[in-house]
Amino acid sequence: MTYCVGIRLNAGLVFLSDSRTNAGLDAISTFRKMIVYEKPGDRFMVLLSAGNLSISQSVREILQVEKLANGDDEPLTIWNAKSMFDATRVLGSAVRRVYEQDGPSLKAAGIDFNASMIFGGQIGGEAMRLFLVYSAGNFIEATRETCFFQVGESKYGKPILDRVLTPTTPLDEAAKCALVSMDSTLKSNLSVGLPLDLLVYEEGSLQSQQIAVIDDQNPYFRMIRGTWGQRLREVFEAIDDPHWDGAATAHPLLTPSERFEPLKKISHPGERIV
């Protein structure tokens, strides 16, 4: 299992991934799930992958050389595509190529073709874009209403992203939010694990030096883990407990309502219950 998140903001992009691929009792494996495709000054692209590791690794390698027919023009690759949309089309083609090669053998072995990917970046003067690519090679794009994508074990880290992130969120705040989201996932699921890869990209830079590998000794992430749990408990304890007497609180649990109560069956003395 894994957990990856990609965020698109007005100010830039944030990518975060864990590195655990197996969490058996005596077999814990670590593989990086983030790869950067960069031509400084021309294009900057980041790929996060989840699902079957052999599929993801094959797609990552093929993507560097994959060519997509482009009419009478030179075949499209991620290195000459003029838009992130076209680069994502090349990625989808790479996914389908791996399916054609390995899909029948995987099916014969009873293994699903399972891979999902987050792919984002910026090419030339085009605006930044972020895509979620499915195992069929099709994809969707992030919008102002949905400015982040998750793949893998996403449910534990989603609430903080939903409550905090907007397109105007500053990059550092978004990076903090992503790390809190990852911490929540680490806390609840052993199949997601350290080290983490964090990358922050500033709009228009076409390169990034803000890349961090985070292990259990990283001082900032250790602060996040301790502070977030403590503050959650403080906020929880500050919320009133439920009061059954409506006159005793400004926020009563019981209020006048026309809703029906649960059906009750009351046994009377001497009644025989079958």
Q: In DSSP terms, which residues pair with 69 in a beta bridge?
A: none
- Selecting from 3.40.50.2300, 3.40.50.150, 3.60.20.10, 3.30.930.10, what CATH number does the domain 3-216 have? 3.60.20.10
pLDDT digits over 189-246, tens only? Answer: 988 999 999 999 999 999 999 999 999 999 999 999 999 999 999 999 999 888 877 6
Q: Round to whole Å and give the CA distance between 269 and 174.
A: 64
Instruction: List all residues 6 or more positions away from 89 whose beta carbon is below 8 Å from its beta carbon.
Output: 68, 76, 81
pLDDT digits over 51-100, tens only? Answer: 999 999 999 999 999 999 988 789 999 999 999 999 999 999 999 999 99
| The two three-digit tokens of residue 165, written as one number | 């992130």
pTM of the model: 0.92
Domain ranges across the chain: 3-216
Single-letter amino acid code for the residue at 59: V
